[in-house]
Structure 1
């Protein structure tokens, strides 16, 4: 009898070991624009890669293209989307796009990318596509005409559930809640960040983010404040979740008190925090910690 019980427990252990499915950080990476989990629709994934930085992921062509339209300065960023047929990554700036087809993306109507014109035209004929575009034609104004914005209202999440990850680096937000940052565009889902540096590197002062609300938590009160109106202390002895960071405050007095106490080196307003300045202030090596799976 004891032997039977032992065998039974061994079989149960073996079964649970074999069937256990590991959950990688990459499986929970969310689109930096709308917050959708990218791995739910992997064939639609888009990526933006800036020199010496982690890749930023998107759930669909429309999210990448609306973030990086043809008339925007991409600051040497490489843009990649998956060819609809092969699902291989292709250079988004060299791709052919079919608009108005009967194929829906994760966020509704979308521009369907192809590596070559022939494949795009075959798809158009089969799926009733209306127009063929090159990336150079896809300005922000044109994209807003082509792609209905209402689809971005889906997937809105009311509260953190403990598994939310930083849209830039993949760190779990709930591990360091007082460092949380938020980006919210009208009619779209909020996007979350684990630290000021991740929000600021995604939304530097010299990037057009009109119509977007940026919020960070005041270091002392931990209340969410307008990041554009905040005062930031650099070079202090206080480390954020990702290492050295810019510490935000709602008022100048609190920022100066913090500087004196924690040996801060400089005080900045948001308007001074261009991408170039941020790269000087914040060592990039901290953004290379492996919080998500690379594939």
Structure 2
């Protein structure tokens, strides 16, 4: 009980900050907001988990070709969805900043880069039904007039930079979320989540936590989406933002919970998963390198549970589980055999292997 009280007291400052968000330009009264979803995620963004009424003036509603509807707090969050599911989208609507009604986004006039703070992005984006209203907004607040496609392109190009900003803010919240989760939630094994919104909906639907205020639930969702946010920086693998995996070409910094690295002489290779790391380890010439195994100075991987950087040659790897990484099926690393066996039983893994037991034939 004392722990629960201390956690609630610890979170008071965060709650006060959240209450101040009611004064934001994006915020409207609940009665003035049009929310299109009908499930347990009705009031929050499916990507970032943020409250749709608080960030209503930048929200976008989407209808997919199968009839399913979703709603996102910003063009930033919609851009993330559009990158992967754009061909499945039937209709996109955006809130008219003036009337607060949902309008056809493709016919809206967007004001990009005004002095009014944006949502999930350093460059604000507000939409208007009438061109005159958009120009009036520009005369007072600055910014440039753009079409939907132009604004979406700007948001898409800014995703990597904006995500770094968002991640930085989430780290402090996730540390509080971790304490709340460990004290006030059912600490059962949770699945992997693709977004904060997905984690938040799972927590609600499965009643993982009880009697949490909205801001506390958001903090837990951020933590459970990516526990690496709450890991001490000095224990995480430090990944340069511009490095690509030599096997698949993906930016490794986008996947910190799966990252691995290999130091050869004075150079370090980074990988978006241990599977690609092993492919490179066994056959570097296939990826335009001619390293010999005796030249490898160290191999580091990311422990699945703690998100800490650990010695890859001393790790234990689970193969054949139902948990997938950025490149599909993965070898899931753990710092000790007990954790690996526990994961194997929970996630239908086929086998636990030591580093020296992993063979190249496993990948082909």
Question: Which bracket does the TM-score occupy, shorter chain normalised?
Answer: 0.3 to 0.5
What's the TM-score, normalizing by structure 1?
0.46
Greater relative contact order (CA < 8 Å, ≥ 6 in sequence): 1
Task: Please give the TM-score of this superposition, normalised by the length of structure 2.
Answer: 0.39
Greater helix share, structure number: 2
